[in-house]
Amino acid sequence: MRSLFWIWWFLIYLTVPVARDALAYLREAGLLPWFDQVLKVGLLSGALAAGLWLVKRGPQALPFLGFLIFLVWWTWQLPFPEEKVHLFEYVVLGYLAIRTFGSPWKALALVFLAGVGDEVFQYFWPNRVFDPRDIFLNTLSGSGGVWFGYFSSASS
């Protein structure tokens, strides 16, 4: 599991050089609205699956269910598909972090460091910028994965 965590972290960084070009291609081909809808369907499907899983866990998982509802609502409001992709990337990273390292605080710290590293990398990449807001959004997204991984391991 440890190597999967580091591989996923590395894959997140690999999206930096290609994300803008891929979105530009989708925009020029008229496929960007379709891609955004696919992201939303994926988001809702994942949220529905997690919600059904949470219903089985009982009242101790209710705070996570509230957080999940907030995360879905917030993601729906994001104007750029790129940010929705980041949500997915960082939720998975958070889940892998808690399952790999066990400690929620260590997992959150690693997700935060990944977000900082992502933004620093973007600062040095042409046509990309360092955005502290993205560090917050990535960490918030990753905390959803940490929380889900924590509850799923605690009830196993």
State pLDDT tens for residues 6-26: 999 999 999 888 888 898 999
Round to whole Å and give the CA distance between 59 and 105. 23
Task: Write down the mean pLDDT value for the chain.
Answer: 87
3-state secondary structure of 71: helix
Q: Which residue has the higher pLDDT, 82 or 133?
A: 133
Instruction: Provide the token pair at 25.
Output: 């291609």
State pLDDT tens for residues 43-52: 888 888 877 7
pTM of the model: 0.85
